Amino acid sequence: MAVRRPVFTENFSANLSDIQGFLGVAGAKLFDRFFDHLVEDVVPMLCRFPLAGRSFLERSVRSNEALAGARKLRSRLRADDDLRELIVDDYLILYVSRARQIVFLAIKHHRQLSFDLKRFWQE
């Protein structure tokens, strides 16, 4: 299997800035350490082993709102896209595995509220 090329969305970059602000001055060293780990270890690992994360859309959903959201997400993905999530330390990474790319969509610290997919999937 060929190594895939990483692609970072504006949303992913904005999420990193949000995390840095969220952690504040007291968490600056923690953020720097995690960022180094992300760049040096996590990104290369996912480019080589894209199925390391679990499938996002195979999660059990229990509400009509969640079902509608999952259908909407599926409609926006390409045929070869595999939407996945990976937990690394205190962070949840949302990414799409494609034939030649790993597209990094979003990242959140576990204490932050949720992903803002509306901003990413603008029509």
Does 118 map to a domain? no
Is 17 inside a domain boundary?
A: yes
pLDDT of residue 108: 93
Dihedral sign for Cα atoms in the order 106, 112, 118, 122:
negative
Q: What is the CATH number of the domain that holds 85?
A: 3.30.2310.20
> What integer pLDDT is reported at residue 121 of this predicted model?
62
Q: Which pLDDT does position 35 carry in this prediction? A: 97
DSSP SS3 for 27: helix
16: CB partners within 8 A, 6+ apart? 35, 107
Q: Which two tokens stand for residue 42?
A: 């996590």
Q: Which residues pair with 109 in a beta bridge?
A: 91
Per-residue pLDDT of the chain (123 residues), as tens digits, is: 689 999 999 999 999 999 999 999 999 999 999 999 999 999 999 999 999 999 999 988 889 988 898 899 889 999 999 999 999 999 999 999 999 999 999 999 988 865 556 666 665
> What separation, in Å, do the N-terminal and C-terminal C-alpha atoms of the chain show?
34
Return d(Cα 91, Cα 37) in angstroms, integer: 12
Domain membership flag for residue 13: yes
pLDDT (tens digit per residue) in 3-26: 999 999 999 999 999 999 999 999
| 20 occurs within a structural domain | yes
pLDDT recorded at residue 66: 87
In the chain, how many domains are there? 1
**What domain range includes position 76?**
5-57+69-112
